[in-house]
Structure 1
Amino acid sequence: MSADVREFTVAEARALIPEVRERAAEVVRLRADLAELALDLRTCGASPLGGVAEAKAFEARLDEQIAWFTGQGIEIKGIAPLLLDFPAVLDGRSVRLCWLEGDAELGWYHRTELGFAGRRPLP
């Protein structure tokens, strides 16, 4: 792994899950509000959620939440649904501990080169 990639232990990644879930809930809320606002503005020209300024504010707050994940060394693989990977090493192999929006805990991993298709339960 490159020197600038943080490697998590399973325990370190799991310790972050309560905050991950809290911030993920905010990402989901902001994502939904932004999508609804954008659709209303495109189709109706107005929205109960606001206008262009509010859309920009939603985007900025969403960017702030995303920056928290990346600042922790967590990789964002998707935003809808929110899919996060924690770089790690298991049994001498490069893996990603994998958390998907809605997961109550961190219970999955996949080999780095396989991605989501190789997702397995953590031992």
Structure 2
Amino acid sequence: MTADGREFTVAQARALIPEVRARAAEIVRLRADLAELALDLRASGSSPLGGMAEVKAFEARLDEQIAWFTGQGIEIKGIAPFLVDFPAVLDGRSVRLCWLEGDTELGWYHRTELGFAGRRPLA
């Protein structure tokens, strides 16, 4: 269960996957642009992607995307790779329905206390 008490059914979580995939694609793009921009600025002081104002803009856009996930009750477990969990209950156990960057659908879960290492396919 999330801090606000939200739990998802598999159907509810799967219904959000198109939006999750679209927002994850934007996060991946922003993450890459920000990493490249930061490297260029450290290495040479300039970048074709801009300067410090653009760093702040990329960070703000990343924060906006992340806020959508947390606002839905979806837990962000990692940014690179992008990994999210949907709190749920399966067979009376607290689990996390698990979606990883690159997945086309929601097909995995793990017991809450095990994390990613306990990942299993959804039936």
TM-score w.r.t. the length of structure 1 is: 0.98
Q: Distance in 1 between matches of 2:120 and 2:40?
A: 40
Q: Distance in 2 between matches of 1:2 and 1:73?
A: 6
RMSD: 1.0
Q: Report how far residue 2 of structure 1 moved.
A: 6.4
Residue type matched to 2:93 in 1? R
- Residue 18 of structure 2 aligns with which residue? 18
Residue type matched to 1:37 in 2? L
Decide whether aligned partners of structure 1 residues 44 and 68 sit closer, same or farther in structure 2, where only a CA change above 3 A counts. Answer: same
Q: Distance in 1 between matches of 2:24 and 2:83?
A: 10
Q: Does the 8 A contact of 2:2 with 2:73 survive in 1? A: no
Q: Does the 8 A contact of 2:95 with 2:112 survive in 1? A: yes
Q: Distance in 1 between matches of 2:99 and 2:2?
A: 22
Q: Between the two proteins, what is the percent identity of the paired residues?
A: 89
Helix, strand or coil at the partner of 1:98: strand
Unaligned runs of at least 5 residues, structure 1: none
Q: Distance in 2 between matches of 1:49 and 1:101?
A: 24
Residue type matched to 1:120 in 2? R
Q: Distance in 2 between matches of 1:55 and 1:3?
A: 31
Residue 93 (1) aligns with residue 55 (2):
no
Decide whether aligned partners of structure 1 residues 67 and 47 sit closer, same or farther in structure 2, where only a CA change above 3 A counts. Answer: same
Residue type matched to 1:7 in 2? E
1:13-92 correspondence runs (5 A): 13-92=13-92
Q: Does the 8 A contact of 1:88 with 1:94 survive in 2? A: yes
Q: Report how far residue 3 of structure 1 moved.
A: 6.5
Q: Deviations over 1:27-81 (max 9, x none)?
A: 0000000000000000010000000000000000000000000000000000000
